[in-house]
Each structure stands twice: as structure tokens, then as C-alpha cells.
Chains A and B, each alone.
Chain A
Amino acid sequence: MTDLTQTTAARSSIMPQVLPWVIALGFLLVMPLIFTSNSALTIMNQMAMTIIFALAYNMLLGQGGMLSFGHAVYMGVGGFACVHIMNWDAFFGLIPLPVLPIFGGLFGMGLALIVGAFSTRKAGTVFAMISLGVGELIAACSVIIVVFFGGEEGISGDRTYGLPFFGIEFLRQIEVYYLVVFWLMVSAVLMYLWSRTPMGRMANAVRDNPERAEFLGYSARWVRFYSFVASGFFAGIAGGLFAINYEILTEENLNLTQSGAILLVTFLGGAGFFFGPIIGAIVFTLLQTVLSLETELWQLYVGALFVATVMFFPGGLAGLLMLHAPAAKMGRLSHLAGPYAKVLFPGIIGTLALCCLIELTFHLRHASIGDHEMVLFWTTFNTHSPVPWLLFGAIAAGGLWLAKRGAPDMAEAFHEANVMKGAA
């Protein structure tokens, strides 16, 4: 009897677990029908690859508590290996293209096996330093080992030489998109399931308290090692997809900038939750592609956003969202709308005006001599007249002041929404 109730309970609880994945899959399949342009496809491909890479990275950072400064290397080596396979006609002609990322994963895993053998002895600072050193070493090797890394110009291949896959030769961008989506779903599901296994749970335990985990009889080192190798595998898959999509890999795929970017993506999204890196990857790719078209200074803003996140919201965007879960459960989100709008609306306007001031300063200092005109928000004005300066300054000061004034009310409302009725 009890067995029966348990199975039905398990069966009914599977539905809400599967539902988000089905929605995500449907969403991914429909996206190219809504955004049909080639540039949108490029952005979505980039996004999907970043999601896989960020999720793989979060297996270390969020789930295992290991901060890596050289994780781009595993993605890069997987990608380089895939390009070499593409160029090896005798072999590449025998395998269909969708299988290729597995080889990338295997090569990433192989490298992780070697490096992890000595780097996972300790977590924390020592691990971070070794990852940095190894990352820099391999990135520097790319100029020396020309046979594998192709020197400064990198190596390139052609994805269409593979065995046709049910008649598809992956000539068009949209075909590549569906291939990437397939691997995105497969790897995301696998990584999620991994985090549910006893192994994934032990990774969390080792992150929080390695000593206690050791007393339970688990070797903290081996748990870290397995997480590291698995993460290397999925990073390699992301690399393989990169090779398929761009058909070229260079030193840029290996260096510290790339490793730093993935740390930024993961932390911005929120390392504490499985879906955090997904949000981070989407937001970061949008910032990277859309914001960089608008302004030269986008990296400055992203850097400032990153530092602010670390200082004030260490849970990242996902953590910020999940803060509101209790209030949502009690159906009190609507109580928050008013106070939030009072702070966020003037706050956003004020911040935008502040950014305009920064843009003005930048234009004033670095524009060519005699170039006094600039365009912000579809308005052209003269940077040497005091009017825009005073205007933006006033808006920034006013907006931020209003936001600051509304902040106590917002905190109060948030507190109210989280307190059980009758308890207060």
C-alpha cells in the first residue's frame, strides 16, 4: 500500500520536473520561425554555445566550489581537435557531422584528466592559481605548437565534407542551429541529471565542507576530480559546436579573456542555481551583440555591472529572482509592483543619464578634433555646449535621488510580502 502511494507520488512529481525542459525545447524550436534573419541565427547559436559552456563551468564553480581561471582551454582544445578531424578527410567522410562534438568532448575530457590529476588536490585559491597557470601555459603554447594550434592565424576547416546526415549537409545556418539546439538540450539535460546523482550531491557536500565529506568516507579529491573531468567533457562539446558553427579556431578561444568572460557569464547569471548560467549566457550574449553596436564603452558597463553584482547580489540574477519565490508562493507579488516601480523606474532613468554623461565625456576626450556632434537616443547635439551636460546631470541626479528615497519603502514592502499573515 505504502509502495503504491510512493510510486504515484513519484509519478505525479515527474510532471513539474519535465515541464520546464519541454517548454525550453518548444521555445528553442520556435525561435528561428520568429527571428528569421541570419544575424539572429548567429546570435542564437552563440547563445546556445555559451549556455553549454557556462553550465559546464558552473559544474565547477557553483556545484563544486572550484574557481577556474583557465576553463576556456578545455573548450578550445575540444574545438581545435574537431577542426583537425574535419580536415582529416579519410575519417571525417565516415562520420555524420552531428557526432563530431562527442570527439570535442572526449578531447576536452582527456585534457581535463591530465590537468585534473594534479590540480584538484586542493580547492579554493590553490586550484584557482593552478588553473590560471595551466590556462596561460596552453594559451602561450598555441603560438609555439603550430602543428596543432596553427600559430597566430589559427586553423580552419569545412563542416560540409562530413557524411550527409539524412541528406542534410549543413550548408545553411538554420541546419547548424538545429544541430546546436540538439546538443544544447542533450548536454543541459545530462548536466542536470548529473547534479541529481549521488556524485553531484557529493560535489555540493565537498564544496560546503570538505572535512565532513571526508569523515563520511568520501575522498574530497576524487569527487573534485570527477566533477572536473565531467566539466571538461561538456566544455569540449561546446568547443566542438564552436568549430562546427564558425569553422575556425584561433588563439583567442584559449586565452584568459575567454576564461574570464565565462566566469563573468556564470556569476552574473548566478552560480547558486542550475538555471543561473543559462540566464547569464542569454543576458551576456545580448549585451555583447546589441550593446556593442550601440557604444564603444560596452565593456566598461559590463565590468561595472559585474563588480556591482559581486558586491551587492552575490547570488546573481538567478539569486535575485529566487528571492521572490516565497512572496510568489503566497501570491503577494502584486504588492511589490508599486514600491518596485517607484525605485526601479527613476533608478533606470538616472543610470541611463549617468551613462550618457560618460558617453559625453568619452566623446569630448577622444573624438577627432573639430567633431563636436554626437547622437544619443536619436537626438543630435553639440558636445561643447553646456545644455546636454546640465540636462543629463540633472536627470541623473534627480533619478538617483528619487530611487534612493524610495528604497526604504521598497525594503519595507519586500519584508511585508515575505512575512506570514498573522505572524507579524
Chain B
Amino acid sequence: MDLIAVNIIDGLVTGLLLFMLSAGLTLIFSMMGVLNFAHASFYMLGAYFAYQISIYLGFWMGLLIAPILVGVLGAGVERYGLRRVHQYGHVPELIFTFGLALLIEEVVQFVWGKNQMPYETPEILQFTAFAIAGNSIPAYKVFMIFISVTIFIGLLYVLTRTRIGMIIQAALSYPKTVEALGHNVPFIFMGVFGVGTALAGVAGVIAGPVLSTFPGMAFVLGSIVFVTIVIGGLGSLWGALVASLLIGWLTTFAKSYNLRMEDLLTTLGFNKPEPIWDSAWQDLWTLTSPQVADILPYILMVLILVFRPYGLFGKRDA
């Protein structure tokens, strides 16, 4: 029971982190109809920028400045790269962001090298917030949850309750009409792209110390983020939230409970072949849940695509 509570918190942290990335990605998708392959690369840049700033000005200034830098960079990419490629169609846009992801990884390796960076959590947050039956929950995890929830509520408020949010929503569905009403739609697009990448940057800043800051970090998270928004339904913010939490909990629980295929097969009445290493089914018998934890999201995605191609919350055809 106590372990369940700990896992729920761990899964929540992973899920909310995933959500910060997928929220920006899904916003950008519903806006421009293109998936930003380099989204996770902006997350990585956030972590590296924050590390570099934290050396001189400390963690908190990094949390403040790094996302802004990433956002400005993202807006620049939209303005001078993506807008240029847009005329050729969606597939070249996707290829462009893919190339950008490769390039950013190479540039990061060029500047910071291939090793992991010693980016640490701030000292104020290096204590145990509370403990559940001997399992201590570090304060930094609570801080991560706090930041992500704050950002989610802020995003929801801006999008649904303010004038700017209304204009953005209108520009998503009827860009021509909004332009005719005198709003600068290309500027709105650039802004949304910038904010989306800045969100990814925030995720990078707070995830860098716990998930470690290294050149492969974009690669590790990148495809999972895509899986998330496909499961949630392309373009749906709520879908992204639900899918992120689902994936977060699914992988956390699969990793912490050592469920074995052997037990399942024995209960179903199969006999274990002996010796196991000569059997063609050895992989099936020796399968455990921590082993498959990392591929569960992909299996989920394929299932969703087969049975409900629009994703959990997706309404329209992509």
C-alpha cells in the first residue's frame, strides 16, 4: 500500500514532466499542423543553458533565464527556418525539424562535449520533504510537481480566460478571419512557437538535475513525447495531460513491481520447458515487467492507432 503511494508520486513527476513537453508540442501542432521533431532538443538546450547559468548565477537565475533564451531561440527558428520551409509543404517541414534535432545534438556535443554535466539540484531543496513508511520523498520532487502544476494552471488560464488566449484559439481554427480582423497572425504563430519551446526549456531546467544532463537526453525523451501526443490525440491539450500521466504511471509501476511472465504462464497451466535456455520460447518465459517498461508506451500507441486512430481525445483527422 505504501509502495503504491510512492509510485503514484514518482509516476506523477514523470507524467507532469512529459506533459510540459507534450503541451507545447501539441499546441504547436494544432497551430501549424507540423510536429516539431526538435522539441525535445529544446528541452535539452534548456538543461544545458541552465547548467551554464547556474555556474555563475545559481540555480534560480537559471530557472528564470534559460527558458527565456530557449523561447527566443525557438521563435527565431520559427521565423527564419520553419516559415521559409513552410512553402514546400508539411513533409519538408517535418524533415527540417528532424534535421534541426540532429544539428542541435551535434552543436551541444561541440560546445559541452560528450560527457554528463555536473548539474545538481539547488542546496535549499536537498532535504526530505516527507516520508511514507520509510520511503523518503525528496523536496525537489515536490518542487517539480509544484512547478508543473502551476504552469499547467497558468497555461489553461491564459488560453481560456484572457483576450490573448481567445485570439490564439481563434487563430488556430480560422487564421484567415483573424488576420482580416487586424491581428498579426504570423506573429501569433511565432509567439506560440516561442512559448511552446520555452515550456520545453522549463522542463529541461528542472529535469536536468534528476535525469542527468547529457547529449543523449533529447533522444531518450524525444520519441516518448511523440508517442504521448499521438496517444492523447494530436492537437488536444487534455489528451496530452491524460496520456502523459498514463505513461508516467504505467512505466513507473511496471518498473517497480517485478511481475514475471513465468508466473502468469504457470497460472494459465503451461509447463515451463527445461532447460529453459534451449527452448525457442525462452524470451517469453523469462520476460519481466521492468524489462518491458520502456516499450509499453510504444505498444500502447500501436494499439491506440489500430483501434482508435484519432487518439484518446482527438476529434478531428490530422
Residues of A within 8 A of B (CB): 61, 65, 67, 69, 118-119, 121-122, 124-126, 128-130, 132-134, 136-137, 140-141, 144-147, 256, 260, 263-264, 267, 297, 299-300, 303-304, 306-307, 310-311, 314, 358, 362, 365-366
Given contact pairs A118-B305, A310-B85, A303 touches B106 in the complex (Cβ within 8 A): yes
- Contact pick for A306, options B102, B107, B280, B299, CB 8 Å: B102
Could you say which of B55-63, B91-99, B159-167 contacts chain A? B91-99
B13, CB-defined interface residue at 8 Å:
no
Shortest Cβ gap from B1 to chain A (Å): 31
- Contact pick for A144, options B98, B111, B287, CB 8 Å: B287
Q: Which residues of B contact A122 (CB under 8 A)?
A: 309, 317-318
- In the complex, A136→B294 CA distance in Å? 10
Q: Which residues of A contact B99 (CB under 8 A)?
A: 264, 303, 306-307, 310
Contact call A147/B223, Cβ cutoff below 8 A: no
The residue of chain A having its C-beta at the shortest distance from the C-beta of B33 within the complex is A125
Contact call B299/A145, Cβ cutoff below 8 A: no
Q: Which residues of B contact A61 (CB under 8 A)?
A: 91
- Contact pick for A300, options B96, B110, B294, B301, CB 8 Å: B110
Chain B residues numbered 75-128 whose CB sits less than 8 Å from any CB in chain A: 81, 84-85, 88, 90-92, 94-96, 98-100, 102-103, 106-107, 109-111, 113
Contact call A67/B91, Cβ cutoff below 8 A: yes
B151, CB-defined interface residue at 8 Å:
no
Known: A256-B223, A310-B99, A311-B81. 16 other contacts (CB 8 A): A61-B91, A65-B91, A125-B34, A126-B318, A128-B94, A133-B227, A133-B298, A133-B302, A146-B283, A147-B283, A300-B103, A306-B99, A307-B99, A311-B85, A314-B88, A314-B92
B35, CB-defined interface residue at 8 Å:
yes
Contact call B110/A362, Cβ cutoff below 8 A: yes
B258, CB-defined interface residue at 8 Å:
no
The residue of chain A having its C-beta at the shortest distance from the C-beta of B234 within the complex is A125
- In the complex, A311→B96 CA distance in Å? 7
- Contact pick for A263, options B98, B100, B280, B306, CB 8 Å: B98
B264, CB-defined interface residue at 8 Å:
no
Contact call B90/A125, Cβ cutoff below 8 A: yes
- Contact pick for A129, options B35, B85, B95, CB 8 Å: B35
Contact call B299/A137, Cβ cutoff below 8 A: yes
The residue of chain A having its C-beta at the shortest distance from the C-beta of B84 within the complex is A311
B230, CB-defined interface residue at 8 Å:
yes
Q: Which residues of A contact B92 (CB under 8 A)?
A: 310, 314
B150, CB-defined interface residue at 8 Å:
no
Q: Which residues of B contact A358 (CB under 8 A)?
A: 110
Summed over the interface, the residue pairs from A and B with CB atoms below 8 Å come to a total of: 117
Shortest Cβ gap from B22 to chain A (Å): 13
A interface, by DSSP: helix, strand, loop or mixed? helix
Contact call A141/B110, Cβ cutoff below 8 A: no
Contact call A303/B294, Cβ cutoff below 8 A: no
Give the top 10 A-B pairs by smallest Cβ distance, nearest first. A137-B298, A303-B103, A300-B106, A140-B295, A307-B99, A306-B99, A303-B102, A310-B96, A133-B301, A314-B88
Contact call B226/A132, Cβ cutoff below 8 A: yes
B292, CB-defined interface residue at 8 Å:
yes
Shortest Cβ gap from B263 to chain A (Å): 18
Q: Which residues of B contact A136 (CB under 8 A)?
A: 223, 295, 298
Contact call A133/B305, Cβ cutoff below 8 A: yes
Q: Which residues of B contact A300 (CB under 8 A)?
A: 103, 106-107, 109-110
Contact call B94/A67, Cβ cutoff below 8 A: yes
Contact call A137/B318, Cβ cutoff below 8 A: no
Q: Which residues of B contact A118 (CB under 8 A)?
A: 302, 305-306
Shortest Cβ gap from A140 to chain B (Å): 4
Chain B residues numbered 4-57 whose CB sits less than 8 Å from any CB in chain A: 29, 33-35
B177, CB-defined interface residue at 8 Å:
no
- In the complex, A137→B302 CA distance in Å? 9
- In the complex, A419→B95 CA distance in Å? 33
Shortest Cβ gap from A348 to chain B (Å): 21
Shortest Cβ gap from A294 to chain B (Å): 16
Given contact pairs A133-B302, A303-B106, A144 touches B283 in the complex (Cβ within 8 A): yes
Contact call A121/B309, Cβ cutoff below 8 A: yes
A-B contact pairs, 11 of them (CB 8 A): A118-B306, A133-B230, A141-B295, A144-B283, A300-B103, A303-B99, A306-B102, A306-B103, A307-B99, A311-B85, A314-B92
Q: Which residues of A contact B173 (CB under 8 A)?
A: none
The residue of chain A having its C-beta at the shortest distance from the C-beta of B287 within the complex is A144
B291, CB-defined interface residue at 8 Å:
yes
- In the complex, A128→B90 CA distance in Å? 11
- Contact pick for B98, options A126, A260, A314, CB 8 Å: A260
B282, CB-defined interface residue at 8 Å:
yes
Q: Which residues of B contact A303 (CB under 8 A)?
A: 99, 102-103, 106
- In the complex, A304→B230 CA distance in Å? 29
Contact call A125/B309, Cβ cutoff below 8 A: no
Contact call A307/B100, Cβ cutoff below 8 A: yes
Q: Which residues of B contact A310 (CB under 8 A)?
A: 85, 92, 95-96, 99
Shortest Cβ gap from B169 to chain A (Å): 21
Contact call B280/A147, Cβ cutoff below 8 A: yes
Shortest Cβ gap from A87 to chain B (Å): 14
Shortest Cβ gap from A48 to chain B (Å): 25
- In the complex, A311→B87 CA distance in Å? 10
Contact call B298/A140, Cβ cutoff below 8 A: yes
Q: From A61, A125, A362, name the one whose CB has the most chain B CB atoms within 10 angstroms.
A: A125
Contact call A267/B95, Cβ cutoff below 8 A: yes
Q: Which residues of B contact A306 (CB under 8 A)?
A: 99, 102-103
